[in-house]
Amino acid sequence: MSETSAFLAALRPPDEAAGPALWFAFRGRELLVHSRGGIEPLAAPEALGLAPRCTHYLGALGALHCWSIELAPDAEPPPGMVFRDLRQLYGVLDTSLHAVAARAVQIVEWDRTHRFCGACGAPTTAHASERSRVCTACGLAHFPRIAPAVIVAVEKGDEILLGRSGHFPPGIYSVLAGFVEPGESLEEAVHREVLEEAGVEVEDIRYFGSQPWPYPNSLMLGFTARYRAGELRPDGVELVDARWFHRDDLPMLFPGNVSISQWLIRDFLARRA
């Protein structure tokens, strides 16, 4: 699969969708892949002895139609295959495939957790023309959930603000991030998160880019910002440490170049070269 293959999302497969397809099969949030880390087109999941509990059409990746599959919690992988969390497959699974898998796991999880209405408890049913589940009693529509989060590279001249979360691997630092609260603009979220987590104020907030982040259902919205005022003071909750690092003396970072946090840091370094 080419890394540049375009994905076209759709709700229903076209009439000519027969033939080999890409099946993204999940046991919980773990994707079924070959032991070497790939996914190959199949005529049907039954070819691997899989028994889907539910399937969803996703769209087409290049010429291949894509489906998500929900498997039973105790499903065993076929010979030569394994279940892997998507985080483990960064840099292993083809970039285009990983992006579709990230979409697939969120749809599978949303469908599994919204089969009953959160308002009245009645069963829901899939809508015929949109990605939603509708309550059979009160009519409330339940759409896939997306939790927006901001991530920001705060700069002070040739220094960048990096912090350590308590769940990071030992020694790893990254840019700051946090979820957007109800009624808050993205810019307000950047101001609040940096002030709450690191104790400093920022200005000149500029949009950088975005990345879907299926852990579990986020959309990361990236920004750059300049330091304005305040003394660096990590909150000890979200951040166990935070420091200003000179571009020529950066700490240990997450390896690779697959996440928006890495793109932000690389962009900072490129502009300070």
82 and 165 part of one domain: no
In the prediction, which pLDDT does 2 show? Answer: 40
In a domain, 134, yes or no: no
Question: What mean pLDDT is reported for the chain?
Answer: 93
Q: Is 131 in contact with 49 (CB distance < 8 Å)?
A: no
Reported as a single tens digit per residue, the pLDDT across 191-215 is 999 999 999 999 999 999 999 999 8
C-alpha atoms less than 13 angstroms from C-alpha of 85 in its C-beta half-sphere: 5
pLDDT band at 5 (very low <50, low <70, confident <90, very high): low
151 and 224 part of one domain: yes
User: What's the domain count of the chain?
Assistant: 2
163 and 87 part of one domain: no
**pLDDT above 50: residue 4:** no
Q: Which domain holds residue 59?
A: 7-113
Return the closest-CA partner of residue 136 out of 165, 157, 115, 105: 115
Q: Which residue, 113, 131, 162, sits at the end of a domain?
A: 113
179 and 244 part of one domain: yes
154 and 264 part of one domain: yes
pLDDT band at 74 (very low <50, low <70, confident <90, very high): very high
Q: How far apart are CA 213 and CA 259, in angstroms?
A: 9
In the prediction, which pLDDT does 17 show? Answer: 67
CATH number of 97's domain: 3.90.79.20
In a domain, 142, yes or no: no
Q: Is 133 in contact with 171 (CB distance < 8 Å)?
A: no
Q: Is 128 in contact with 12 (CB distance < 8 Å)?
A: no
Q: Which helix or strand (DSSP H or E) is residue 271 part of? A: helix 260-271
What contacts 56, CB < 8 A, 6 or more positions away?
A: 67, 68, 104, 107, 108, 111
Q: Is 158 in contact with 246 (CB distance < 8 Å)?
A: yes
Rounded to the nearest 5°, which phi and psi values hold at 256? Answer: 90, -170
CATH number of 242's domain: 3.90.79.10
Q: What is the DSSP letter of 128?
A: S
In a domain, 205, yes or no: yes
In the prediction, which pLDDT does 3 show? Answer: 43
156 and 267 part of one domain: yes
Q: Which residue, 63, 87, 113, sits at the end of a domain?
A: 113
* CA dist 67 → 25, 26, 47, 54, 232 (Å): 8, 11, 15, 10, 47
Query: What is the residue type of 70?
Result: E
How wide is the angle at C-alpha 270 spanned by C-alphas 265 and 273, nearest 5°?
125
In the prediction, which pLDDT does 54 show? Answer: 93
Q: How far apart are CA 206 and CA 104, in angstroms?
A: 31
Better-scored residue on pLDDT, 5 or 180: 180
Q: Which tokens is 165 given?
A: 């979360």
Better-scored residue on pLDDT, 13 or 206: 206
In a domain, 211, yes or no: yes
Q: With left for phi above 0 and alpha for psi between -120 and 50, is residue 121 left, alpha or beta?
A: left
Q: What is the sign, positive or negative, of the torsion defined by CA atoms of 142, 143, 145, 146? A: negative
Return the closest-CA partner of residue 261 out of 204, 233, 223, 205: 223
174 and 253 part of one domain: yes
